[in-house]
Amino acid sequence: MDAEKLHRDAVIIDAVAPLLEKKKYVEAYKAGGVTCAAPTVGETDTPAAGLKTIGSWLHFIRSRKDLKLVQKASDIEAAKRNGQMGILFHFQGTGPFETDLNLVEAFQALGVRMVQLTYNRKDYVGDGCEEETDGGLSRFGKALVGRLNENRVIVDCTHTGYRTTMDALSLTTRPAVFSHSNSAVTSPSKRNIQDDQAKAAAATGGLVGVTAVPWFIVPANGGAARPSLDDLIAHIDHFVSLIGIDHVGLGLDYWWKTLPFSGIDTMMSAWEGAVSTGYYTPEVYPRPPHYNPPEIETPEMLFGMTEGLIRRGYKEDDVRKILGLNWLRVFREVWGE
One-character DSSP codes across 226-268: ---HHHHHHHHHHHHHHH-GGGEEE-----TTSTTTS-HHHHH
Q: Return phi, psi of residue 42, to 5°.
A: -165, 145
pLDDT higher than 90, residue 237: yes
pLDDT of residue 222: 63
Kindly list the domain boundaries of the chain, sorted by start residue. Answer: 3-335
Confidence grade of residue 123 (pLDDT, cut at 50, 70, 90): very high
Could you report the per-residue pLDDT of 171-216, keeping only the tens digit for each? 999 999 999 999 999 999 999 999 999 999 999 999 999 999 999 9
pLDDT of residue 50: 97
Q: What is the mean pLDDT of the chain?
A: 96
**Superfamily of 3-335 according to CATH:** Metal-dependent hydrolases (3.20.20.140)
d(CA 277, CA 274): 5
d(CA 162, CA 156): 13
d(CA 255, CA 327): 21
Confidence grade of residue 10 (pLDDT, cut at 50, 70, 90): very high
Residue 196 identity: D
Could you report the per-residue pLDDT of 267-317, keeping only the tens digit for each? 899 889 989 988 898 888 888 888 999 999 999 999 999 999 999 999 999
pLDDT of residue 306: 98
pTM exceeding the 0.85 threshold for the entire prediction: yes
Q: Within 10 Å of residue 199's Cβ, how many Cβ atoms?
A: 15
pLDDT of residue 172: 98
Contact 113, 138 (CB under 8 A): no
Closest CA to 331 of 137, 161, 96, 114: 114
d(CA 261, CA 19): 9
